Amino acid sequence: MPQSKGYAATDSKTPLAPFSFSRREPGPTELVIDILFCGVCHSDLHMSRNEWGQAVYPMVPGHEIVGRVTAAGKDVKKFKAGDIAAVGVIVDSCRHCAPCNRGEEHFCAEGATLTYANKDRVDGSITMGGYSSNYVVDERFAHTVPSNLDLAAVAPLLCAGITTFSPLRHWNVGPGKKVGIIGLGGLGHMGLKFAHSFGAQTIQLTTSLKKKDDATKLGADDVILSTDDAQMKKHAGSFDFILDTASAPHAIEPYLNLLKQDGTMTLVGLPDKPPSVSIFSLISKRASVAGSMIGGMPETQEMLDYCGKNNITADVEVIPIQQINDAFERMLKQDVKYRFVIDMSSLK
Ligand code: NAP
Ligand code: ZN
Ligand code: ZN
């Protein structure tokens, strides 16, 4: 059985600490991946502190994984030992329901298996994530990585990338559309890059004035300080689409005021408290509030290939795993530029 070293949360209050465990033997269509880099998603923090009530301990977080294949089962077609492979938020699904057959495994009717703190469909154990030395996964849930991209900066694409790419595509963001991105963090900065790359007029909404110049460099046509009522008023009724990536509870009404008639605000951020919406602000312009969650396997590969062709990656601060607890604290202070990525060689 592959042995793994990692960092785990043992309860909702204690910092992550070194943890050793074993992974199951790979099956004929499975890979063993030696993890090189793993991104640090705000969901890892929500989960390890049990903010959504879904925690299972010990918990090894991490679902933005890039690594090298060290073993491939006899029926594996896409990869061979030595190849680079990437794994995101889900690692299995029923593989026969209508959403799975459409390649929307994240909407699996029987529930997809998450990369960590979830019941493994194969042996019933609890999945352990990418803050660790290796992973065992079916090739259907692993992606190839364009060879021109920096691997540390690719890791965040596996969650922050697909979670923003998918709704921007679904709601047809492109030329002629005015699009707002709420929150300049891991998800937000990828949303900004994609919306800009798709040709939309892209406006960054931030609560952090000091991020203004960075937002412009990352592709924003304009930046709105969302705590400044005058700036918000100036843009009232002008947006086609808004993507909300904020991680902390916040009022969404001020952002709904920014939408045009028939505009849509899509929530991807998952604060631990739900927002409240005045029905009047929706009916007065037939506005929609929607939600979106990661993406299926084909779309995740499409996103990676798009990034390869357009030279898009995350802006990352690479850290050794020993700094993970500091990274969590800095993330809470909105002090991330714009994704922490763990260099897994620091585990050795
Ligand atoms: P992050 O890097 O910590 O960024 C979150 C950003 O939200 C902050 O940088 C900040 O941006 C903004 N923010 C924080 N508090 C705010 C407030 N009160 N009002 C407005 N904006 C606020 O987090 P992340 O990794 O991007 O994740 C963002 C959220 O998405 C998390 O809740 C995460 O769990 C969720 N998520 C969802 C999915 C999905 O499939 N739907 C996938 C991945 C993550 P400014 O400083 O610019 O204001
Ligand atoms: Zn994530
Ligand atoms: Zn299914």
Give 8-66 pLDDT, tens digit per residue: 999 999 999 999 999 999 999 999 999 999 999 999 999 999 999 999 999 999 999 99
Q: How far is 226 from 182, CA to CA, in rounded Å?
A: 9
| pLDDT-based confidence at residue 318 (cuts at 50, 70, 90) | very high
The lowest-confidence range among 248-252, 273-277, 323-327, 330-334 is 273-277
For the domain covering 161-291, report its CATH number: 3.40.50.720
Tokens representing 197 are 């790359």
Cβ–ligand 1 distance for 42 under 6 Å, the answer yes
Burial class (CB in 10 A: 0-12, 13-18, 19+), 286: exposed
pLDDT in tens, 128-174: 999 999 999 999 999 999 999 999 999 999 999 999 999 999 999 99
Is the whole-model pTM more than 0.85? yes
Q: For position 1, what pLDDT does the model report?
A: 84
DSSP assignment of 217-248: HTT-SEEEETT-HHHHHHTTT-EEEEEE---S
Cβ–ligand 1 distance for 211 under 6 Å, the answer yes
> Do strands 201-206 and 84-87 pair parallel, antiparallel, or not at all (unpaired)?
unpaired
Compute the mean pLDDT over every residue in the chain, rounded to the nearest whole number: 97
Say if CB 85 and CB 79 are below 8 A apart.
yes
Percent of the chain residues past pLDDT 90, beyond the cut: 99
* pLDDT value at 254 more than 90: yes
CA of 298 to the centre of ligand 3 (A): 14
Radius of gyration of the chain (CA): 20
188 CA closest ligand 1 atom index:
26
| pLDDT-based confidence at residue 203 (cuts at 50, 70, 90) | very high
Percent of the chain residues past pLDDT 70, beyond the cut: 100
Give the DSSP letter of residue 23: P
Query: Domain locations in the chain?
Result: 3-157+315-347, 161-291
| pLDDT-based confidence at residue 348 (cuts at 50, 70, 90) | confident
Tokens representing 133 are 């030395």
Atom 40 in ligand 1: which residue has the minimum CA distance?
Answer: 293
Q: For position 303, what pLDDT does the model report?
A: 99
* pLDDT value at 244 more than 90: yes
Atom 20 in ligand 1: which residue has the minimum CA distance?
Answer: 246
Q: Which residue shows structure tokens 């799975």?
A: 100
Homologous superfamily (CATH) of 3-157+315-347 is Medium-chain alcohol dehydrogenases, catalytic domain (3.90.180.10)
Q: Which residue shows structure tokens 């154990």?
A: 125
Is the peptide bond preceding residue 254 cis, with omega within 30 degrees of 0?
A: no
Q: How far is 57 from 199, CA to CA, in rounded Å?
A: 44
- Collect residues with CB below 5 Å from ion ligand 3: 93-94, 97, 100, 108
Q: What are phi and psi of 111, to 5 degrees?
A: 90, 125
Cβ–ligand 1 distance for 41 under 6 Å, the answer yes
Cβ–ligand 1 distance for 245 under 6 Å, the answer yes
| pLDDT-based confidence at residue 2 (cuts at 50, 70, 90) | confident
